[in-house]
Amino acid sequence: MNASESPPGRRRAALGFIFITVLLDILALGIIVPVLPLLIEDFLGGDTARAAIMYGVFGTVWALMQFLSMPIAGALSDRFGRRPVVLASNFGLALDYVLMALAPNLVWLFVGRVISGITAASVSTAMAYVADVTPSERRAGAFGLIGVAFGLGFVLGPAIGGLLGSVDPRLPFWAAAAFSMANACYGLFVLPESLPPDKRRPFEWRRASPLGSLRLLRSHPALGGLAGVAFLSNVAHAALPATFVLYAGYRYGWDTQAVGLALAGVGVSSAVVQGTLVGPLTRRFGERRVLIAGLLAGAVGFSTYGLARSGFGFMCAVPVVALWGLASPSAQALMSQRIGPSEQGALQGAIGSIMGVATMIGPGLFAGTFAYFIGDGARLHLPGAAYLLAAFLLAAGALLAAHVTRTDETSGIRPLGRT
């Protein structure tokens, strides 16, 4: 029996398993966020400028490793099943965090970050797992639930890391290792396999390479376009983390506490939207309309971010931007419906590669835009230019999404995988 055809109670249990897996994974990643820059700075003798540059290098290399390894993880999961890939990743992350906790110098810390980028690639496998255990018409809601796990992990992780880091800068790495090991043990004893042997396919390097995995996106006319939407959306996603701390202090005079509370509000709002609205709205209006509406809401919200003259005006836009959270699960569902069960891992690997490229491009793009438009040489003083650029990208994504999915509602052809 196909996992997506199993009884509803069993599907809910499997989805709950993978929710916990993703939550613990992201929690471990988030815990080290507040202390990693400080540890780099300490290794460089307190030189903040050099530490900032090196931290940027760490981030770029981590994203590069994601770009290279996510297609491999996806292809391996299509061959051997989702469970062994998730388990190998979690055990690998646990050992890697121990390595970083014990790192005696910057070189070893860098090596640990490279390994982290490779082993964290199980996110693509988790998304394939969701596609395995969920009927196609309910996948948007299921992907939204996984988005809640991401949101909670990124909200709770840095908060826990900040508290532990105030005791010892190495302590968050030990905590991250503990979470990852708990995750691995949870998967070892609880997490069931989601891909039946008869739905698997042979592993091929030409499919597992980043370029090879991207060829899958050309197998259906709309897949490539939806991948373009995902790319634009993921680039735009970098606008807030890349500039918000400096932007809020520069324009509104916010301190660290205010910035932290605002980011927590953003995370909670997004989690509420993805956890409660995606499923009902996609069942009522369809993934296509919800995808376009989510992208347009993000464009309106980021425009407000960029134009708001007060902190109050900025915060009023947070619920609007949160509706952007409708877009990603809807796009994931539309893409997963167009391929068969044996290619879900490869699809998620290709999406992961796109995210990796976006992660490499976005931070520098938006930080540079912000710096230029507040600099002395700018012809127009526009502190919110980075957010206006993000709004433009999301509006372009909405137009592209409307174009490539127009046949979904006019041709009567049901996507592959729709039951």
> DSSP string of 13-32?
HHHHHHHHHHHHHHHHHHHT
Compare 307 and 29 and report the one with higher pLDDT.
307
Q: Domain range for residue 114?
A: 3-409
Mean pLDDT of 57-77: 82
CB proximity list for 258: less than 8 A, separation 6 or greater: 248, 311
**For 210-222, what is each residue's pLDDT tens digit?**
666 667 777 777 8
pLDDT of 274 > 90? The answer is no
Q: What is the pLDDT of residue 13?
A: 61
Beta carbons of 38 and 170 less than 8 angstroms apart: no
Q: Does 416 map to a domain?
A: no
Q: Does 116 map to a domain?
A: yes
Burial of 49 by CB count in 10 Å (0-12 exposed, 13-18 middle, 19+ buried)? exposed
At residue 324 the predicted structure's pLDDT band, cuts being 50, 70 and 90, is very high
Weakest mean pLDDT among 183-197, 243-257, 399-413: 399-413
Share of the chain above pLDDT 90, in %: 20
Strands of 257-407 (E only): list them.
none
Give the span between the Cα atoms of 417 and 357, in whole angstroms. 28
Q: Does 303 map to a domain?
A: yes
Compare 394 and 329 and report the one with higher pLDDT.
394
Q: Length of the chain, please? A: 419
Q: What is the pLDDT of residue 390?
A: 96
pLDDT of 3 > 70? The answer is no
Q: What is the pLDDT of residue 12?
A: 61
Q: Does 352 map to a domain?
A: yes
Give the CATH number for residue 246: 1.20.1250.20
pLDDT of 410 > 70? The answer is no
Beta carbons of 49 and 177 less than 8 angstroms apart: no
Number of domains present in the structure of the chain: 1
Give the span between the Cα atoms of 149 and 277, in whole angstroms. 15
- Nearest Cα residue to 152 out of 285, 290, 334, 29: 29
Mean pLDDT of 71-94: 86
Q: Does 414 map to a domain?
A: no
Burial of 370 by CB count in 10 Å (0-12 exposed, 13-18 middle, 19+ buried)? buried
Q: What is the pLDDT of residue 2?
A: 43
Weakest mean pLDDT among 270-279, 314-323, 341-350, 397-406: 341-350
Exposure string for 115-135, b = 16+ CB within 10 A, e = fewer: bbbbbbbbbbbbbbbbbbbbb
Q: What is the pLDDT of residue 8?
A: 52
- How far lies 64's CA from each of 39, 59, 217, 369, 397, in Å? 22, 9, 20, 22, 24
Q: Does 418 map to a domain?
A: no
Tell me what the pLDDT averaged over the chain comes to: 82
Give the span between the Cα atoms of 237 and 181, in whole angstroms. 29
pLDDT of 401 > 50? The answer is yes
Q: What is the pLDDT of residue 1?
A: 41
At residue 415 the predicted structure's pLDDT band, cuts being 50, 70 and 90, is very low
Tell me, rounded to whole angstroms, the distance of Cα 305 from its chain centroid.
Answer: 21
Mean pLDDT of 300-319: 94
Q: What is the pLDDT of residue 307?
A: 95
Burial of 225 by CB count in 10 Å (0-12 exposed, 13-18 middle, 19+ buried)? middle
Q: What is the pLDDT of residue 409?
A: 55
Q: What is the pLDDT of residue 11?
A: 55
Q: What is the pLDDT of residue 416?
A: 42
**For 18-42, what is each residue's pLDDT tens digit?**
888 788 778 877 788 778 877 888 8
SS3 for 147-161, per residue? HHHHHHHHHHHHHHH
Q: What is the pLDDT of residue 245?
A: 73
Q: What is the DSSP string of 336-363?
A: HTTS-GGGHHHHHHHHHHHHHHHHHHHH
Check: pTM over 0.75? Answer yes or no: no
